Amino acid sequence: MSEDQIKNLEAQFEARIARDEKIEPKDWMPEKYRQTHIRQISQHAHSEIVGMLPEGNWITRAPSLRRKVALLAKVQDEAGHGLYLYSACETLGVSREELYDQLHTGKAKYSSIFNYPTITWADIGAIGWLVDGAAIINQVPLCNTSFGPYARAMIRVCKEESFHQRQGYEIMMTLANGTPEQKEMAQDALNRWWWPSLMMFGPTDAESVHTAQSMKWKLKRKTNDELRQQFVDQTVPQAELIGLTIPDDDLKWNDKRKSYDFGPIDWDEFWQVVKGHGPMNKERMNARVSAWENGEWVRDAAVAYADKQKEYKSKQAV
């Protein structure tokens, strides 16, 4: 293809996106669009899978049968999200094995929030309320993103996430209305998860390298800072409602902006965790890698068995 032809294709492609048409896997797309989507969708899928670990940590210790069942169902939902996000990603011409390999070798990233430990039961509430709450704000705009398979996967993901968020908030509410020990447990969890949750929206707009291109492709509709503000404005009244205190002395309603002003984020901590040196980065990766390695003989056997069955059937046919 000549350069002019490619330019022409690109122009048509951008025009389609501008008209809000969906791009489907078999459509022509610029290589950069493909790569950006592989990066973002796989990162999202990895986050779901790694995210199963901190929550899975409390399945065996959940305080009641009802909570145990709800937590199991939630973690299973995350696995389901991982599954259809990997499938969406595979439509771009990359295999699940390759994607796992990128995760296991540290080439691909996942949401840094999952590198924090879940040390009390209240952390399960805080994750649902704050982490899933932040994820929804990030993800709702993606239901209208330009790449069809991703947009469709996100519609389902968002429905389930909003259920998780309510469930998490309900755990926090129960604790906040409980004994002084329970309330303290809830406050402690909020103190530990608040700032990492704000970091989930990524670096400030000035520092964000992908924002401009992503906005153009509708992978993003609002900037990191706008989304972060939306999260703060939404969450502060929820904390007040159940009598918990946001751990930020600078937090104040700004009547002019009709928004909350909040204190500075510790970006050194953010980069430390992103670069692999958070409290649980090593443990999370070890857990994923060993699940994969310990499962190798199982996957190999399944393939060998399927091959034998095929062979057996073709012999029968003869």
> Among residues 99 and 274, whose Cβ is nearest to other proteins?
99
Shortest distance (Å) from residue 122 CB to other proteins: 10
> Among residues 23 and 49, whose Cβ is nearest to other proteins?
49
Amino acid, single-letter form, for residue 175: L
Shortest distance (Å) from residue 107 CB to other proteins: 20
> Among residues 5 and 64, whose Cβ is nearest to other proteins?
64
Shortest distance (Å) from residue 223 CB to other proteins: 33
Query: In whole angstroms, what is the distance from residue 307 CA to residue 200 CA?
Result: 44
> Among residues 167 and 224, whose Cβ is nearest to other proteins?
167
Shortest distance (Å) from residue 85 CB to other proteins: 11
With CA atoms as reference, report the closest residue to 202 among 224, 220, 218: 224
Show the tokens assigned to 244.
């918990």
Query: In whole angstroms, what is the distance from residue 285 CA to residue 289 CA?
Result: 6
Shortest distance (Å) from residue 70 CB to other proteins: 10
Alpha helices in 116-179 (DSSP H): 122-126, 132-139, 148-176
Shortest distance (Å) from residue 191 CB to other proteins: 19
User: Left if phi > 0, otherwise alpha if psi is -120 to 50, otherwise beta: which for 246?
Assistant: beta
> Among residues 74 and 220, whose Cβ is nearest to other proteins?
74
Query: In whole angstroms, what is the distance from residue 41 CA to residue 47 CA?
Result: 10
> Among residues 277 and 299, whose Cβ is nearest to other proteins?
299
Q: Which residues bind other proteins (CB under 8 A)?
A: 49, 52-53, 56, 59-69, 72-73, 75-76, 79-80, 82-83, 86, 121, 171, 174-175, 178-179, 181-182, 287, 290-291, 294-302, 304-305, 308
Shortest distance (Å) from residue 103 CB to other proteins: 12
φ/ψ of residue 252, rounded to 5: -155, 140
> Among residues 68 and 221, whose Cβ is nearest to other proteins?
68
> Among residues 37 and 67, whose Cβ is nearest to other proteins?
67
Dihedral through CA 3, CA 7, CA 9, CA 13, nearest 10?
A: 150
DSSP string for 223-277 = -HHHHHHHHHHHHHHHHHHTT---S-TT-EEETTTTEEE-PPP-HHHHHHIIIII
Query: In whole angstroms, what is the distance from residue 136 CA to residue 190 CA?
Result: 18
Shortest distance (Å) from residue 158 CB to other proteins: 20
Show the tokens assigned to 91.
């439509």
With CA atoms as reference, report the closest residue to 296 among 101, 102, 88, 83: 101
> Among residues 71 and 246, whose Cβ is nearest to other proteins?
71
Shortest distance (Å) from residue 285 CB to other proteins: 13
User: Left if phi > 0, otherwise alpha if psi is -120 to 50, otherwise beta: which for 108?
Assistant: beta
Could you tell me which residues are beta bridge partners of residue 260? 253
